[in-house]
A and B are shown apart, each in its own frame.
Chain A
Amino acid sequence: MAVAIALIFVVGTLNFVLVHLVPGGPGAILLNNPRMSPSAKDAVLRSFGLDKPLQEQYVLYLAGLVTGNWGTSYFFLEPAFDVIASRIPATLLLMVPSLILTILIGIVLGVLAARRPFTYVDRFLSAFSFFFYAMPAFWLGFVLLTVFALFLDVLPAAGMSSITVSGFDMIDYLRHLILPMTTLTLVNIANFSLLVRASLVEVLDQNYITTARGKGLPERLVFYRHALRNGLLPTVTMIGLFVGFILTGAILTETVFSWPGLGLLTFDSILRRDYPIVLGLFFIFSVMIIASNLVTDLIYGLLDPRITYD
């Protein structure tokens, strides 16, 4: 746990350093109005706290990270925390269903393949995973968009919700969700199901499985009662890893589909040199990844009676 917290601070520091290495300093983007008088420039810098000595800025930054004061966005002129917080639901609405679908379908496929290794099912899974491991997500997204939004015109072309809808409409949201979620999950399903299959196969090699078979238990029982439960344990830790993958994938996917979440904000803010947001975003990403790793470790500990945490 302590490691996790230390990690977050290190990451935060790294980002801070990176951002301040930029020529002209992070505030350069604020001063691009040619008619600005020097006193006005100073005032602007002051209002963003950029006139303080570097060490002071660093301390304030770290303290701010924890308390939720991430400074004011240069672009939106709103507190960076608010801007990011307002986009988190959108990204979660994309990530969580994708993650769930990846896990469920991944497990199903992996189980199927492990059950009948080297048959067509297994080979199909291998081919499928190879195919999507190498697939550029933005190309796939674009192809899907072409087919479904342009040629067939059954799904919306961009965004998360239609104009005419106010509030939250489940059906509308789902319609917008299909394409980006498909793009995001296809790549990860392939990978994840292979992992599931592999760990199951490894379990099936174990002695106690041979024993069970030797005892005359039907294969089905052996598989589902013994192998599955133990084989699925490693996949729990892998889920933590996949949160990271899905987060990264979300950036490209959100760009292709104009999904108004954190990924799009990341890309736009970097290009706009909106550093408070960039720093806040990196912080959030790290927190998400670390948190998911912690959670999966905990769940793994709960599931595996052999492990105890002190």
Chain B
Amino acid sequence: MTERCLSGAGKAMQLWKAYARSKSAVFGLVFLVGLALAAAFAGYIFHVNPELPDLAKDRVPPSFEHWFGTDYLGRDQLVLIVYGARPSLIIAFTAGALLSVLGTLTGVLAGYFGGRIDGFIMRTADVFLTIPTLPLVILVVALMGPNLFNVMLIIGLTGWPVMARIVRADTLSLMKREFIEIERVMGASIRRILFMHLLPNQLNSILVYTSLSIPVVILTEAGLEFLGLTPLSISWGFMLNTSISYWISGAWWLSFFPGLAIFSTALAFYFVSDGLKEALNPKAKRRRESLVVQLATRK
């Protein structure tokens, strides 16, 4: 393990330099930050109530006045898309965080304790991996009622096994290191080992894999909205849902822009995660592998 004897600011600069080597990573980051800011301050940017219908402008095609055209209620789509970023980004982060925390904790505990606990945790993870996520999510949302909280919860709850596996593998390899052995012999508490040694050394990986799982969260959430399983609100997936009925009347922009938004955001997160992986991974020898490889091959 390379010790970096740099100050905090220096470290950050180095990190940024490594990250910025990839054009796409920077682009993705800029896009996301811009989107998040626009979504957060949408009220100030657009001085219009996004939900207010204006029948006179029913389904106006993209024009100078309305860059993305208007929807079936006459509402400007650019405004809708920006507001629609809110649920997507919120769910992306919260479900991602939930998934990450859950996965990390279980992975670390499995790796640390080994034996029966490890077996139990991994078997549970296997169960979740065996049930295909989408039907399970649909089932739970249909049963428990469509509200954003349930959606966040269930996406987070079904996403942890993959994370757990990776963290467990990392933990296991860390456990073999001498300094852990020393700590244990000295009688250090679990909490100390966990929070001072095991977790900090995996922070990089955890960050990377969390950001990798976010595109999937976004797509799953959009999928649920598309299937009509979420409450009525301004969201990209739901815009796609309602757009289908109007498509035959020629209003292609109703479905094109929301789909483009979903796609771009997922792509941006993917770029960012790839960039993070490049920047944080100390082994410079590894070339541009997909993170999914490691996800798949770590058994």
Chain A residues in the interface with B (C-beta under 8 A): 3, 6-8, 10-11, 14-15, 18-19, 21-22, 117, 126, 129-131, 133-139, 142-143, 146, 191, 194-195, 198-199, 201-202, 234, 237-238, 241, 244, 247-248, 251-252, 255, 266-267, 270-271, 273, 278, 281-282, 285-286, 289-290
Interchain residue pairs with CB less than 8 A apart (26): A6-B123, A10-B123, A10-B127, A130-B267, A131-B267, A134-B266, A134-B269, A136-B223, A136-B259, A137-B223, A138-B240, A139-B263, A142-B259, A194-B292, A241-B296, A248-B133, A251-B135, A266-B138, A267-B227, A270-B138, A270-B142, A271-B142, A282-B131, A282-B136, A286-B131, A289-B132
At the interface, yes or no: B7 with Cβ under 8 Å from chain A?
no
Q: Give the contact stretch, choosing among B48-56, B189-197, B283-291.
A: B283-291
Tell whether, in the assembled complex, residue A201 and residue B287 are in contact, meaning their CB atoms are under 8 Å apart. Answer: yes
Q: How many pairs of A and B residues are in contact by the CB < 8 Å rule?
A: 134
| A11 partner residues in chain B, CB cutoff 8 A | 127, 130-131
Complex Cα gap A113–B41 (Å) = 44
- Name A13's closest neighbour in chain B (CB-CB): B127
| A282 partner residues in chain B, CB cutoff 8 A | 131, 135-136, 139
At the interface, yes or no: B222 with Cβ under 8 Å from chain A?
yes
Complex Cα gap A19–B24 (Å) = 45
Q: Indicate which residue in B131, B134, B143, B255 contacts A252 across the interface (CB closer than 8 Å).
A: B134
Known: A21-B143, A201-B289. A285 touches B135 (CB 8 A): yes
Complex Cα gap A135–B261 (Å) = 10
Known: A134-B215, A244-B132, A290-B130. A194 touches B293 (CB 8 A): yes
- One digit per residue, 1 when the CB lies within 8 angstroms of any chain A CB and 0 when it does not, for chain B 214-230 equals 01000100110011000
- Name B212's closest neighbour in chain A (CB-CB): A133
| A18 partner residues in chain B, CB cutoff 8 A | 139-140, 143
| B132 partner residues in chain A, CB cutoff 8 A | 244, 247-248, 251, 285, 289
At the interface, yes or no: B247 with Cβ under 8 Å from chain A?
yes
Tell whether, in the assembled complex, residue A136 and residue B288 are in contact, meaning their CB atoms are under 8 Å apart. Answer: no
| A21 partner residues in chain B, CB cutoff 8 A | 143
Tell whether, in the assembled complex, residue A266 and residue B131 are in contact, meaning their CB atoms are under 8 Å apart. Answer: no
Complex Cα gap A278–B138 (Å) = 11
Complex Cα gap A271–B244 (Å) = 20
Tell whether, in the assembled complex, residue B215 and residue A238 are in contact, meaning their CB atoms are under 8 Å apart. Answer: no
Known: A135-B263, A138-B240, A146-B252. A286 touches B130 (CB 8 A): yes
Complex Cα gap A139–B91 (Å) = 20
Complex Cα gap A255–B229 (Å) = 14
At the interface, yes or no: B262 with Cβ under 8 Å from chain A?
yes
At the interface, yes or no: B270 with Cβ under 8 Å from chain A?
yes
Tell whether, in the assembled complex, residue B130 and residue A289 are in contact, meaning their CB atoms are under 8 Å apart. Answer: yes
Tell whether, in the assembled complex, residue B296 and residue A248 are in contact, meaning their CB atoms are under 8 Å apart. Answer: no
Tell whether, in the assembled complex, residue A7 and residue B255 are in contact, meaning their CB atoms are under 8 Å apart. Answer: no
At the interface, yes or no: B271 with Cβ under 8 Å from chain A?
yes
Most buried by B among A7, A136, A234, A247: A136
Tell whether, in the assembled complex, residue A281 and residue B130 are in contact, meaning their CB atoms are under 8 Å apart. Answer: no
Q: Which 3 pairs of residues, A with B, have the shortest CB-CB distance?
A: A139-B259, A134-B266, A134-B267
- Name B297's closest neighbour in chain A (CB-CB): A234
B87-130 contacts to A (CB < 8 Å): 123, 126-127, 129-130
Most buried by B among A11, A134, A137, A202: A134
19 other contacts beyond A8-B130, A134-B215, with CB at 8 A cut-off?
A7-B127, A10-B123, A18-B143, A22-B143, A130-B270, A133-B215, A135-B266, A136-B223, A138-B240, A142-B244, A143-B259, A195-B296, A202-B289, A251-B132, A267-B138, A270-B142, A271-B142, A281-B135, A282-B135
B144-193 contacts to A (CB < 8 Å): none
Tell whether, in the assembled complex, residue B227 and residue A255 are in contact, meaning their CB atoms are under 8 Å apart. Answer: yes
- Name A251's closest neighbour in chain B (CB-CB): B134
Q: Indicate which residue in B129, B215, B290 contacts A198 across the interface (CB closer than 8 Å).
A: B290
Known: A136-B223, A251-B135. A129 touches B290 (CB 8 A): yes
| A251 partner residues in chain B, CB cutoff 8 A | 132, 134-135
Complex Cα gap A289–B31 (Å) = 37
Shortest CB-to-CB span from A154 to chain B, Å, is: 18
Most buried by B among A8, A201, A273: A201
